[in-house]
Amino acid sequence: MTLSVRHLTLFAAKRAIYPLWDVTLEIGREERLVVVGESGGGKTSLAWAMLGRPLPGQSLLRGEARFDGLDLLALEPEELARLYYRQVALVPQNVQDTFHPTQRLWESAREVLRKESRDRVRRGEVLAAVDPLGKRLDVAASLWDSWPHQLSGGQKQRMGLILALLNKPKLLVLDEPTHALDELTRAALIAFLREWQSANGCSVAFLTHDIGLARSWGQRIVVLYRGEIVEELPAGSAGAPRHPYTRGLMESAVRLGDVPYSRQAISGHAVALRGEPEGCGFCERCPWSEPLCARERPVLAGTDDHRVRCHRLTTLPTARAASVR
């Protein structure tokens, strides 16, 4: 096991909300896990907290995140710093945060390559180190002499990824890594990531709102809604989604060739969790809700590889086949 997250619960005092509630998941060695959910569902909070650094304004109420046995949430900042960009790496959604605004890009890459704080790494060594990945990700060598503000969103996205991959981490966390990219670049990046992951034996947690991408890229999918896991299933055709929220995500996913407006959106909006969940978090948006759903929080139940948090699991209508191609 590379990462084991147990009962992770976060509180954001300023907004008085719980961004994550009792999240438990595991990422195996060389596994590709995809975490899916809408914006505001807790993906970014999870990405940072499972690497030991809850987002600013969020505090750990309970839980742990063990990487190779070490609880990242209990480590001192210096201990964490020794792991980042070496054993574990995060490509955040706001990838510009990866780069120091007053450093040229190659200097940010030098920070990642530097093994000890007193090591000096020359510009030429940095450029030689980033070159193979730059060639694969279509990043011209001259861009490393730029300042972060001179780059487009897509360039920053790819250069942030290069920094994360430079030291071949054991665990890579990608938070919406394709959101600033056009379709072609996105497809190339996804293909590259798959190849790189299998060549380097890295475990990957990929966080996205795109369930079609999750099913094609991941091996296992965790669906997050309002800070709770509502379904965990194998990717691909073997794991037909069963939770009404996951099915709603599939129904609403737009794909090339669709008749305009033919997709069915999930009604309503997710409301942030403001206290211990008393019923099902999806109750107000669920077409199959019944009185019990508002009264009792369903447990995550099922088989080892497919678990669902829903009271009506055995009585729900069958999902429409092949909603996502």
- Which residues bind to ligand SF4, rule: CB under 6 A? 244, 280, 282-283, 286, 288-289, 293, 298, 310-312
Task: Tell me the C-alpha distance between 258 and 154, whole Å.
Answer: 27
Task: Tell me the C-alpha distance between 55 and 20, whole Å.
Answer: 12
Task: Tell me the C-alpha distance between 174 and 109, whole Å.
Answer: 18
Residue 300 Cβ vs ligand SF4, minimum distance, rounded to whole Å:
11
Beta carbon nearer to ligand SF4, 194 or 312: 312
The answer to whether the beta carbons of residues 59 and 13 sit under 8 Å apart is yes
Residue 235 Cβ vs ligand SF4, minimum distance, rounded to whole Å:
21
Query: What secondary structure letter does DSSP report for 169?
Result: -
* Cα angle: 312, vertex 43, 133; to 5 degrees: 130
Residue 299 Cβ vs ligand SF4, minimum distance, rounded to whole Å:
10
Beta carbon nearer to ligand SF4, 204 or 308: 308
Beta carbon nearer to ligand SF4, 32 or 311: 311
Helical segments of the chain, H only: 43-49, 77-83, 105-113, 123-136, 153-165, 183-200, 211-217, 244-252, 291-295
Give the distance between the most distant pair of CA atoms in the chain: 66
Beta carbon nearer to ligand SF4, 92 or 298: 298
Residue 215 Cβ vs ligand SF4, minimum distance, rounded to whole Å:
20
Beta carbon nearer to ligand SF4, 28 or 279: 279
Task: Tell me the C-alpha distance between 135 and 157, whole Å.
Answer: 15
Among residues 42, 36, 6, the alpha carbon closest in space to that of 246 is found at 36
Task: Tell me the C-alpha distance between 221 and 34, whole Å.
Answer: 5
CB within 8 A of 97, min separation 6: which ones?
none
Residue 295 Cβ vs ligand SF4, minimum distance, rounded to whole Å:
10
Residue 190 Cβ vs ligand SF4, minimum distance, rounded to whole Å:
30
Beta carbon nearer to ligand SF4, 162 or 283: 283
Q: Return the C-alpha torsion angle 308, 312, 313, 314, nearest 10.
A: 160
CB within 8 A of 261, min separation 6: which ones?
none
- Name residue 307's amino acid: R
Task: Tell me the C-alpha distance between 197 and 141, whole Å.
Answer: 23
Q: Is the dihedral of CA 196, 198, 199, 200 positive or negative?
A: positive
Beta carbon nearer to ligand SF4, 196 or 282: 282
Residue 313 Cβ vs ligand SF4, minimum distance, rounded to whole Å:
7
Residue 325 Cβ vs ligand SF4, minimum distance, rounded to whole Å:
25
Residue 93 Cβ vs ligand SF4, minimum distance, rounded to whole Å:
27
Beta carbon nearer to ligand SF4, 28 or 302: 302
Beta carbon nearer to ligand SF4, 21 or 282: 282
